[in-house]
Structure 1
């Protein structure tokens, strides 16, 4: 990404028929600014991904230790579950506004502050004496994550350059997915065999290591050109940006609605429980890791829209197959595909948002992050209401298929309106 890219004051009001080869200013996308052999971006981007690993662990580990939290703080399981909602909603709503408000600040100290707040909030969570204090600490952790993750993605894209943007973004997202594969099982085991408080100390330690790595390894990432606050706020009204965020919210919601209640789903459909359930979750995480990294490779070669069309199609199909996966082998294959598709959406969506507004990468990426976490909060909440209402495990999967199909329809209408992606893969 070149430092002299610019977005004029009329750019965010341009027609939705602008082609993806142009950014919001109507100018061609920047040319690659690094030689093909340059690998200097890999280490700093890997360090940034360690921070998202901590946040991915934090996002999902609480689901595994909710019974311990409920018992330890003498509260109901439903009330304890709100600690997950508090984190997700705070992140979802805060990320775009924090990104706009901090646009002129240097990236490295800003990310350090975000990671530092995240670490302190997890330590506060670990020693919370009551559910109200724990909820407040989770809000603080959400603010730290909202400050760090979008800026880490933007910094990675800038460090790698346009030709490697998809791969760099995939590494950052890969930190989240690897957190679900390796971080969550470790954190859950600590919570079950030591205490839930120890699990959150573990997350804080990983975040602290990421903070030290950031301070030691990362040079100051390039700061985007100064853009007036009015231009930053105008992003909020751009129709294509909003459509991309709505798409992300629907895709994330359809996936997490099933994942949150996957124990009930698989117990009903495939009679999978206990250790077999842990294997299913591991397969989902392995698929997610492959999807996160593979989607970056595909986005660099196929383009973001083709990659998204494939990912959302597989996501909808895999959610539907969960209703008929009546043995462990078939269920395992479906979980592998579902994890891959669920995690293959974010990177290409980030890719096209940056292409849309190259001067405001942190702002537009924060919108994508907001869509992910709002989708998680809404998916988990609505899924619980549907199950309590008697829809059943298969009915829940069908509802998720409907949400994924809605996301796919939005994706196809977007690409068709610009006429640069064929519907046929």
Structure 2
């Protein structure tokens, strides 16, 4: 790997770390934001909803546009909008302006995240594509365990607005860096996207990600509540459980690159989905088994995010000329799956209780496995 390639990977990693921080840091800041504007925490939660819906709806458009225009320019413009939207959040004098700013933030992230994945897929050597994608994906996941806590700490010493001002400054800085680093990368322009049935094939492919996300987030969203209700975990024990999960997610993403290089993205994506099913069944069986639960939570995230990263590499290989739109639809599929997963999880715990969640998630994981095998036939 050349020095220029290392620099490009580093820029992609840092950019996705910032984007991930913007996504994950809002949740712990909601109590302070709701207190300042005199609203309930449920009302403040619309910040997350507006952001997620805007992202899911607009990402395919930016993916399509990136296959027609220069990805580097779009990423740069997205970062400028990202900086503006976060500055607007920090300056907001009413909650209505906060909602407007999060709408703009959703647009900006939709024009950055899938395009980073796509441009890395464009420049990576075919046999190393999985490794390169695993590196930049780890930047997004690292924000869960490092970026969000840093933002919360900054709020403690300053105020919640300072978090958004800091991200706005970082956005401007990264816009300049990304413009310089990607401007020499030729665009891999789409030639086959207009072929009949190609979009349907892409949508069928990314449906695997939707089902995968349901299997992950139907349980993860309610994990803390389940541990408290079923195992009487203290707050520190819940934090430790989430830490095991976070470590597994980062290691899974990073390790999948080398495993993809060795076994191929098709094989690894299928094997990890099968292992995900087995691990979720184990969590359901051993949910009250004390220390063993930490191990299974670690393994759940390890195989789950190894599968997600390897599947992205698989999509990048299967759609070389439509990489931007494929990655964009894959990210939209991810957000749809997260939303459906949280809804399914709420339904399950209402009807059957927390103990059934891992088994239901295992059922969706095996559906994702079979769907992955079916859609592989072209």
Q: Tell me the TM-score normalized by structure 1.
A: 0.81
Distance in 1, Cα, partners of 2:87 & 2:217 = 26
Q: 1:294 to 1:342 in 2, by over 3 A?
A: same
Q: Is the 8 A contact 2:348 2:354 kept in 1?
A: no
Q: 1:316 to 1:58 in 2, by over 3 A?
A: farther
Q: CA deviation at 1:158?
A: 2.2
Distance in 1, Cα, partners of 2:352 & 2:161 = 35
Q: Tell me the TM-score normalized by structure 2.
A: 0.90
Q: Deviations over 1:325-383 (max 9, x none)?
A: 32552222122112222322332222222222211211111111111122122223443
Instruction: Find the counterpart in structure 2 of residue 161 from structure 1.
Output: 125
Q: Is the 8 A contact 1:61 1:188 kept in 2?
A: yes
Q: 1:191 to 1:317 in 2, by over 3 A?
A: farther
Q: Deviations over 1:73-94 (max 9, x none)?
A: 3223333223222222222221
Instruction: Find the counterpart in structure 2 of residue 314 from structure 1.
Output: 275
**Equivalent position to 2:109, from 132, 137, 145:** 145
Alignment root-mean-square deviation, CA: 2.5
Distance in 2, Cα, partners of 1:292 & 1:376 = 18
Q: 1:319 to 1:191 in 2, by over 3 A?
A: farther
Higher helix share: 2
Residue 337 (str. 1) matches residue 299 (str. 2): yes
Instruction: Find the counterpart in structure 1 of residue 34 from structure 2.
Output: 70
Q: Report how many aligned residue pairs link the two structures.
A: 377
Instruction: Find the counterpart in structure 2 of residue 304 from structure 1.
Output: 265
Instruction: Find the counterpart in structure 1 of residue 200 from structure 2.
Output: 237
Instruction: Find the counterpart in structure 2 of residue 266 from structure 1.
Output: 227
Distance in 2, Cα, partners of 1:205 & 1:280 = 33
Q: CA deviation at 1:119?
A: 2.0
Structure 2 unmatched runs, 5+: none
Distance in 2, Cα, partners of 1:91 & 1:192 = 29
| Matches for 1:4-403 after TM superposition, within 5 Å | 38=2, 40-191=4-155, 194-225=158-189, 227=191, 230-231=194-195, 235-238=198-201, 241-323=202-284, 324-326=286-288, 328-387=290-349, 389-403=350-364
Q: 1:134 to 1:78 in 2, by over 3 A?
A: same
Structure 1 unmatched runs, 5+: 1-36, 419-425
Q: Is the 8 A contact 1:155 1:222 kept in 2?
A: no
Q: CA deviation at 1:166?
A: 0.9
For structure 1, which segment, 108-117 or 306-315, has the greater mean C-alpha deviation from structure 2 after superposition? 306-315
Instruction: Find the counterpart in structure 2 of residue 404 from structure 1.
Output: 365
Q: 1:201 to 1:310 in 2, by over 3 A?
A: farther
